[in-house]
Amino acid sequence: MTNKNKDEQSPSNDQQDVKALAPENSTKESQVEPAITTPQTPPSSKEPEFEEKQGKRGVKLGTVAIVLAVIFGGGLSYQIQQQTSNYETRIAELESQLKATQTNVSSDMEQIKTQTLEQAKTVAHKAEVILAQQQKSIQSLQLAVADVKGRRPNDWLLAEADYLVKLAGRKLFLEHDVVSATRLMESADQRIAALNDPSLVALRQSMANDITKLRMVPLIDRDGLVLRLTSLQQQVDSLPLANAILPEAPEVQKQQVSGDIYDWQDNLMTSLKDFSENFITFRSRDGNVIPLLSPSQHFYLRENIKSKIETAIRAIYQEQGEIYKVSLQAAEQWSTSFFDQDNNAVKEFDATLSKLSTQNIQVDYPVKLETQAQLSDVITDRLRREVTTIITEEK
């Protein structure tokens, strides 16, 4: 209200401009026409009303402008605040994403480092293995070159002796063929003797020791044993079986009737006993009774004896002395218990089984041959000396 009264009491800016311009115009007019005077008409009553309306309108416009400015400023500040909060939220999200990315990158880098180290170690190990193989290959090539380059006629005899000794070892340890191993060792000794080299006396002594050990090994005719057992196995079906075996009954002395009349009671009992024996006879036997076998039991008996002989044959080749002996003893026991012992074929069968069961089929062979290692050392030493000579000549 105070503002309105002040606006009503004070003239508006337009009115002040009009009043300020009025004297200037009057002075101008008085200067141009000083002689003419016109009466001044009093101002009408409409001008104050117009000025009052103009003042109120200006106040309203100002108020509206202020309200609009406040509303616009508040909305603008609210919008700015919202944008600021959105920016802060977005920045926080970006920071969290950045931290997660950094964490993932660091873990990935650690994994990559670990994998790289492992791969590097693997590659280094492979390189070392390849380098070692290459060095061995180079050494073997050098030995081969030296062997070819410095080959002498006598060296072939040494190589043949080495081959024969190795072959003798295979025959002895893998096939247990003592005869072949002995002959191979003798052939190798002949090759060494042909060299006529005094430095090989120790080698020839080792070969002589090995040959002596091989000759001391007892020879077993495995093929002969197998053939004899096979022949016995084929005779099993033709051997006769024994009947039921009963123990012998004791002899019973027959009582005689006496001539004494006073022995009439004993004579009567003796007569009655003799008369009853014509119908029924009782005999007592002490001992075990071996009953007869059924046909199916006959078959199983023969097959079991054949199986035991077959087990003994396998034990011969595998040199299992205990299994060989037990198998033949079991076959002999069954033959004695169930075949007819009065038959000559059965007697010969049992005697052969008993003799073969005592045969020794297990032999202690030498653990190793001394000549193998010593001969290999001699050949390696000679090749090494030849390689050294060739390298020295090339330098």
Q: Find where tokens 């005697």 sit.
A: 351
Inter-helix orientation angle 153-173/370-394, to 10°:
150
- Per the DSSP assignment, residues forming a β-bridge with 339 are 241
> What's the token pair of residue 213?
């050990």
Task: Output the pLDDT for position 326.
Answer: 93
- Evaluate if residue 234 carries a pLDDT over 90: yes
> What's the token pair of residue 270?
């003796």
Task: Output the pLDDT for position 25.
Answer: 40
Using DSSP, state whether 290 is helix, strand or coil: strand
- Evaluate if residue 307 carries a pLDDT over 90: yes
Structure-model confidence comparison of residues 21 and 323, the more confident one: 323
Low-confidence winner among 23-32, 289-298, 363-372 (lowest mean pLDDT) = 23-32
Domain boundaries, the chain: 2-18+48-142, 150-217+365-394, 218-241+291-363
Separation between Cα atoms, residue 23 and residue 21, nearest integer Å: 6
pTM of the model: 0.45
Q: Compute the chain's Rg from CA coordinates.
A: 69
